[in-house]
Chain A
């Protein structure tokens, strides 16, 4: 059974720091991996989608990498800002039909 783990569970950093969020999964047979941002009362916002054949994706200050063989993905946030404060969720599509299996998330606080 596929399991997704995110470390750390919570992170508090000063503004301007570069930071890395980690995601690991137990079964390397995935179709894709998606990173989401969750804000209270605003649902989930898709940040980056990495297909199983890709190694990384970039969007603005965000960069996500995928190492399928080791079952790991990282989300790199450059020059963090208070507006980046949110919970970040990692999800893998495994077993077909684009069904997602989620990690519990990393709660990020960026303070001025």
Chain B
């Protein structure tokens, strides 16, 4: 089983719909992150969290919200999806300090 699991793996949704992407980890890491990847571009940070009481905006947080339900779970929500949010979304984890980051397998989201 993967250490960082994202669900769903693929999702097609309509403009204006609310959608939630989920991430769970078994690595015991305190830090969790959501990134977005667009074709031909590197990953960009949406939100990050250091524990259940700590949520921080990243570079491109507009149109997104997150919830850290437990140390092992971090969800990303699109309140009202729009076509330019079509992208590949990745969840990542790391330990405190300047340590290695581990990524999930990604969720491919298409907004039509």
Of A13-21, A28-36, A61-69, A73-81, the stretch lying at the interface with chain B is A28-36
Given contact pairs A100-B43, A102-B43, A105-B42, A44 touches B90 in the complex (Cβ within 8 A): yes
Given contact pairs A51-B98, A98-B31, A98-B99, A43 touches B43 in the complex (Cβ within 8 A): no
Q: Which secondary structure dominates where chain A touches chain B?
A: strand
Q: Cβ of A41: which chain B residues have Cβ within 8 Å of it?
A: 105-106
Q: Cβ of B40: which chain A residues have Cβ within 8 Å of it?
A: 104
Contact A46 B100 (CB under 8 A): yes
Contact B43 A46 (CB under 8 A): no
Q: Cβ of A103: which chain B residues have Cβ within 8 Å of it?
A: 42
The answer, yes or no, to whether B103 is at the interface (CB within 8 Å) is: yes
Q: Cβ of A108: which chain B residues have Cβ within 8 Å of it?
A: none
Binding site for A on B (CB under 8 A): 31, 33, 35, 40-45, 48, 50, 56, 58, 90, 92, 94, 97-106
- 19 A-B pairs within 8 Å (CB atoms) are namely A32-B98, A36-B103, A41-B105, A42-B105, A43-B90, A44-B103, A46-B100, A46-B101, A46-B103, A91-B42, A97-B31, A97-B48, A98-B97, A99-B33, A99-B48, A100-B33, A100-B43, A100-B92, A102-B42
